[in-house]
Amino acid sequence: MVFDKNNYAPGTHPDLPPPPGTVGVVGWLKNNLFSSLSNSILTVLSLYLMYLLIEGSLSWFVVDAVVNANDKPGCRKIADGACWAVIVKRFDQFIYGFYPLAERWRIDISFCLLFFAAAPLLYPDIKFRKYMLVLSCLYPFIAFILIKGGFFNLLMIETNLFGGAMLTVIIGVTSIACSLPLGILLALGRQSRLKLVKVISVCFIEFMRGVPLITLLFVASTMLNYFMPPGTNFNLLIRVIIMMTFFSAAYIAEVIRGGIQAIPKGQYEAADAIGLTYWQTTRFITLPQALKISIPGIVNTFIGLYKDTTLVVIIGLLDPLGIGRAALADTKWNGLSTETYLFVAVIFFISCFAMSRYSLWLEKKLSTDHN
């Protein structure tokens, strides 16, 4: 049926469907890939390049790759693609470090529980949230008892045996969980009308931001002992976590301050006018809006922190990168740096990509300004 645009009396024009080929898959292809001759050529060219790239790397990654071998020459005897045997043979180390073999179930359980403990915090609409929050509150203690041991007949494990991805998760999750509340307090402190609170917050933030993380880690590993009474042995891992927390809290504080300052003045006036106190305004009006605005910046900082955990290699803790370097130093696997570093990259990419997607989901969920 063909409509003549003059067929309708004024005020009676019905809603018509869009012309064919402007919506749906065809419309998308037309708009995005083949909108002009030059764009069509670029599309075809890109597809060809992608084909070359995938075809070339597949043979190295999969077809000519070796999974079962005892050393590098063993790999090369079979095929000359990737020698994944180094990862396979050292997989346990990459995950658990030097945690005793017989006790590794404790790590597994803690790791699984972590998902249940984090779920109610990350997904506010989850079922049974109230009960799960109890687990969230208890989780730090449960995880400590399980991983460190020394209670309930659990064998005490020295922290210098911790390593691999497990170490990254312990440092990363603890620092992230502690630095958010600390960052919020610092951001509020910096805006405070109380001079002393403000000065302390500003000094803390500026000092932490002004010093490289590596320096702070060296301070944690060596210098802090000078400030302790002789004979005290303050666990290195805890020192590292504290420094990491302080460092990222300073950044978080600045990100959140940006969010707070983006809130229109009218919001505070409205809160004042209905009689809310400072803390009520902060809790119900300022923070929910400021945190929502700051999500991209906060997650940015967290991803940075998570990746910075690799710096602990320098003070002798063996995270996945450290384990990888140890593997490369082994004469059996000498020279397999591509395989090793790629694997370490994948370990980090999984966590960081998950954080990034979560933040996008959260932003969308909290958005209230569309229909």
Partner 1 sequence: MNSKNKNYVIKINEMHKWFGTFHVLKNINLEVGQGERIVICGPSGSGKSTLIRCINRLEVHQQGHIFVNGIELSGDLKNLEAIRSDVGMVFQSFNLFPHLSVLENCTLAPIWVRKMPKKDAEELAMEYLERVKIPEQAQKFPGQLSGGQQQRVAIARALCMKPKIMLFDEPTSALDPEMIKEVLDTMIELAETGMTMLVVTHEMGFAKKVADRVIFMDEGEIIEQNTPKLFFTKPTNDRTKLFLSQILNH
Shortest CB 268 distance to partner 1, Å? 9
DSSP string across 77-106 = HH-SS-BTHHHHHHHHHHHHTT--GGGHHH
> Taking a C-beta distance cutoff of 8 angstroms, is the pair 59, 74 a contact?
no
> Taking a C-beta distance cutoff of 8 angstroms, is the pair 234, 224 a contact?
yes
Shortest CB 264 distance to partner 1, Å? 8
Shortest CB 5 distance to partner 1, Å? 29
Per-residue contact flags (x/-) with partner 1 for residues 265 to 304, judged by CB under 8 A: -xx-xx-xxxxxx--x---xx--xx--x------------
Per-residue contact flags (x/-) with partner 1 for residues 341 to 370, judged by CB under 8 A: -------------------------x-xxx
Tell me which residue has tokens 């917050």: 201
**125 is a contact residue toward partner 1 (CB under 8 A):** no
Instruction: Using alpha carbons, select from 350, 347, 368 the residue that is nearest to residue 358.
Output: 350
Closer to partner 1 by Cβ: residue 22 or 280:
280
Shortest CB 282 distance to partner 1, Å? 12
Closer to partner 1 by Cβ: residue 220 or 260:
260
Closer to partner 1 by Cβ: residue 5 or 193:
193
Shortest CB 299 distance to partner 1, Å? 19
Closer to partner 1 by Cβ: residue 51 or 284:
284
DSSP string across 250-307 = HHHHHHHHHHHHTS-HHHHHHHHHTT--HHHHIIIIIHHHHHHHHHHHHHHHHHHHHH
Distances (CA, A) of 190 to 11, 193, 196, 206, 261: 59, 9, 10, 11, 12
Instruction: Using alpha carbons, select from 175, 170, 185 the residue that is nearest to residue 253.
Output: 185
Query: Torsions phi, psi of 41, nearest 5?
Result: -60, -45
Closer to partner 1 by Cβ: residue 31 or 261:
261
DSSP β-bridge partners for residue 66: 83
Shortest CB 288 distance to partner 1, Å? 5
Per-residue contact flags (x/-) with partner 1 for residues 70 to 109, judged by CB under 8 A: ----------------------------------------
Q: Site size for partner 1, by CB under 8 A?
A: 22
Closer to partner 1 by Cβ: residue 292 or 307:
292
Per-residue contact flags (x/-) with partner 1 for residues 220 to 259, judged by CB under 8 A: ----------------------------------------
Shortest CB 337 distance to partner 1, Å? 49
Q: Which residue stretches of 127-212 are H helix?
A: 129-148, 164-191, 195-210
Closer to partner 1 by Cβ: residue 53 or 270:
270
Closer to partner 1 by Cβ: residue 63 or 262:
262
Shortest CB 303 distance to partner 1, Å? 25
What's the CA gap between 64 and 80, in Å, rounded?
Answer: 6
Distances (CA, A) of 260 to 295, 338, 368: 12, 45, 18
Closer to partner 1 by Cβ: residue 32 or 267:
267
What's the CA gap between 349 and 19, in Å, rounded?
Answer: 43
What's the CA gap between 204 and 29, in Å, rounded?
Answer: 53
Handedness of CA 329, 330, 336, 341 (dihedral sign): negative
Closer to partner 1 by Cβ: residue 230 or 275:
275
Kindly list the residues in this chain that would bind partner 1 in the complex (CB under 8 A): 264, 266-267, 269-270, 272-277, 280, 284-285, 288-289, 292, 366, 368-371
